[in-house]
Amino acid sequence: MAVDLEHSFTSARSADDMYAAILDLDRLIPCVDGGSVLERTSPESAKAQILVKMGAMSMTFTGTLEIVEQDAAAHRAVLSVKAREAGGQGHANGTIEFQVGESGGKVLTHAQITGKAASMGEGVVAGVLDGLINDFTGKLGAL
């Protein structure tokens, strides 16, 4: 199942500072509720995990987050996520595009979800992902 979402965020920080914070995966990953850095594999990538609650069910996804595109002049970055469900057959892969401006920016998310999470239905998955990203953008603006 594929889910596409767009969110905005506001920040009192300069576009340069916000862009630098987004590229700092050690600061960025914990902004996702349930997210943590397991190991930094390079300046552009990290192994991470996230605990996600979907209704009465909780799932842990473990994988990599990698910066695949950077444009400092445009304050734009694209990150790739490749994660597998712990103890399951499912995965959560996707791209996250950040577009930063002087008073905030946009987060464009494209996710491909399979396994138990996808079996919950598109509405549930989109709702949970939307809630996670809304929470994330609130924390992002405060970085």
Residue 65 is predicted with a pLDDT of: 97
Question: Bridge partners of 41?
Answer: none
Map out the domains of the chain as residue ranges: 2-141
Instruction: State the Cα–Cα distance between residues 101 and 120, nearest whole angstrom.
Output: 36
Residue 57 is predicted with a pLDDT of: 83
pLDDT in tens, the chain (143 residues): 999 999 999 999 999 999 999 999 999 999 999 999 999 999 999 999 999 988 788 899 999 999 999 999 999 999 999 999 998 789 999 999 999 998 999 999 999 999 988 888 888 888 999 999 999 999 988 88
Q: Per CATH, which fold does 2-141 belong to? A: Alpha-D-Glucose-1,6-Bisphosphate; Chain A, domain 4 (3.30.530)
Residue 63 is predicted with a pLDDT of: 97
Start-end of H helices in 1-143: 15-23, 25-28, 116-119, 122-141
Angle of CA points 84, 85, 90, to nearest 5°: 80
Question: Bridge partners of 51?
Answer: 60
The answer to whether 94 and 109 are in contact (CB under 8 A) is yes
